[in-house]
Amino acid sequence: MWRAGKTSLPTRANLVKRKVLDDALCQECKLYAEDTLHAIWSCLKLIDTWKVHFDQLKADAVHCASYLEVIDRASLVKTSFELFAMTVSAIWMRRNKIRLGETALPLGQIPTSAFDALQEFQQLRPTHAKIPQTARAVRWRPPPETCVKANFDRAVFSQDGLASIGIIIRNEQGLVMAALSQQIPLPTSVEMVEVLAARWVLVFAKELGFDRVIVEGDSAITITSINGGHMDHSALGHVLLDIKSLFSCFSHISVQHITREGNCVAHKLARRATNFPFLV
């Protein structure tokens, strides 16, 4: 991010200035010179990639003359700035792989890839407390007696225009009480898939008559949004408000974050929906 803001990345325009290349033309759109702003932000090929998570930022930054100005505008929204940085990184890495003739991620998969990378980074981010190495491999744990634990996850199949959710509900002995695997139409963002999955796990538990439920998911952003409420006026706000209204259907409800390793069964159920559109 620092190098992009200082225009010191080896874009084609910079390499022409250093007399490494003779042609600064962008190899993606073949319309404009590839400077930093163009390579990471304004290339026509990147419009759909950025719109998935940053449609409003694209509108706000339409008159930015440098990439540093784009960074300044992106940093005003603290809750999404890390995702912005991950997306920048994914776009630049893809550009370099193409330049080297290596297999690169399709542009349509970059929003999902950046979101997943951020989730992994947040799970591995060190805290002030010293955590023993053996404690970092978090496994699923049964709920307390009288409660059930409902784990949820999502999967995205961009090439098919589909998303899916997976849910598994287990009792205090770890026995499976119910499971669900379901396809849904692909929403506008990965975050929307996550919150829809969180809502559906509550609906599923309510329909089955469970009264004391602990909900677990591996998206730290989604869990924080549900528990914190700071995104209620965002594009996800109506779903988050619906989730909170469902809380009143239970005598006990808590929503907790778990690492991806501890949520692998729900993840596999979500992936299974590619072959089974609806299975309970």
Coil/strand/helix, residue 25: strand
Give the pLDDT confidence score for residue 131 in this predicted structure. Answer: 43
What is the pLDDT confidence band of residue 156, given thresholds at 50, 70 and 90? Answer: confident
Beta bridge partners of 185: 162
CA distance 272 to 268: 6
Mean pLDDT of 198-220: 94
The answer to whether the beta carbons of residues 206 and 178 sit under 8 Å apart is no
* pLDDT for residue 269 is more than 90: yes
pLDDT tens-digit readout, 234-253: 677 888 889 999 999 999 99
* pLDDT for residue 193 is more than 80: yes
pTM for the whole structure: 0.56
Mean pLDDT of 187-201: 86
The answer to whether the beta carbons of residues 54 and 37 sit under 8 Å apart is no
Domains of the chain: 2-124 (no CATH), 148-279 (3.30.420.10)
Neighbours of 150 (CB within 10 A): 28
CA distance 205 to 249: 10
> Can you read off the two tokens belonging to residue 256?
């907790």
pLDDT tens-digit readout, 70-105: 999 999 988 889 999 999 999 999 999 888 888 888
Tell me the CB-side half-sphere exposure of residue 209, using CA atoms within 13 A: 1
> Can you read off the two tokens belonging to residue 47?
């419009």
